[in-house]
Amino acid sequence: MTYNGATFHGFAVNDGIETVGGLLQDAIVTVARCNATLSVAGRTDRGVHARAQVVSCDLPEDADLDRVRIGVNALCGPHISVREVVWVADDFDARYSAKWRHYKYFVLNTPTPDPMLIDRMWHVREPLSLPMMQLACDGIMGSNDFTSFCKKPADMSGTLTYSMIRNVMKADWHDTGDGQLVFDIRANAFCHQMVRAIVGFMIEVGTHRRKPAETREVLLAKDRTLLPKLAPPHGLFLWEVGY
């Protein structure tokens, strides 16, 4: 499925708040006439978009999948579009069966903003050094503890509740022309705010406020306070999920 997340408070179902998952779940219940508990490949935050989100749930055995897709799209459009509905094996789970997730972050690096791109790209006025940002990518490759780049999940006592170790398989920047820069990152999984924290740090590298070598230093410090600035959510897209 594809969605523009600008008008939603993230994906996760949250009673009384309009979310992508909440609207989708209600639509499935209405169209398929069944209880639908969703499992999602990437639980995107408020304002984050998705080009190829994957969701799984149980449907009645006699469900007409084309009818489900058409009906759900009629209830969820125009900001949400279910592109395909297919039967899968009983043990398939959109979240736990995924081997990797691929995100893209889009930056518009021009002196003036483009009103047509305000909900899809982060506008950065200061000139950015793409080679410096590319060098900064080296420090996050492989399996590492990304505590410094993630919002800390904690229970009521403040104790860390799960591992922040993630395996980054791809990380690079490229220029697509007209001042538009794209950051690609692929990993087995991502913790909360990880991509936005990485992009925010690398923009500081690109503006020469930090050095590429600091990427590794910050990563090894395991200290979230070293990265006070997050990239805004509207430039982030869940681009692809691998199974």
Pairing mode, strands 236-242 and 49-50: parallel
Q: What whole-number distance in Å separates Cα of residue 230 and Cα of residue 196?
A: 5
Q: What residue segments make up the domains of the chain, in order of their start?
A: 2-81, 100-242
The beta strand positions in 96-214, using DSSP E, are 100-108, 122-123, 142-145, 165-177, 180-187
CA atoms within 13 A on the CB side of 159: 3
Q: Is 45 a catalytic residue?
A: yes
Sorted by sequence, the CB contacts under 8 Å of residue 160 that are 6+ apart come out as: 152, 153, 154
Q: What is the pLDDT averaged over residues 70-90?
A: 96
Q: What's the CATH number of domain 2-81, 3.30.460.20, 3.20.20.70, 3.30.70.20, 3.30.70.580?
A: 3.30.70.580
pTM of the model: 0.93
Average of per-residue pLDDT values in the chain: 94
Q: Return the residue matching tokens 């982030």.
A: 236
Q: What fold does the segment set 100-242 form as a domain?
A: Alpha-Beta Plaits (3.30.70)
- N residues, the chain: 243
Q: What whole-number distance in Å separates Cα of residue 72 and Cα of residue 124?
A: 37
Task: Choose, from 15, 45, 62, 66, the residue flagged as catalytic.
Answer: 45
User: Residue 128 corresponds to which tokens in the numbers above?
Assistant: 């950015």
Burial class (CB in 10 A: 0-12, 13-18, 19+), 6: middle
Q: What is the pLDDT averaged over residues 161-171?
A: 90
CB 241 within 8 A of CB 235: no
pLDDT at 98 over 80: yes
pLDDT at site 162? 72
Q: Which of 26, 18, 7, 20 is nearest to 53 (CA)?
A: 20
Q: What is the pLDDT averaged over residues 131-159?
A: 84
Q: How far is CA 236 from the centre of its chain?
A: 6
User: Where residue 160 falls among pLDDT bands split at 50, 70, 90?
Assistant: low
Q: What is the pLDDT of residues 35-73, one digit of tens each?
A: 889 999 999 999 999 999 999 999 999 999 999 999 999
Sorted by sequence, the CB contacts under 8 Å of residue 5 that are 6+ apart come out as: 11, 20, 44, 46, 47, 48, 49, 50, 233
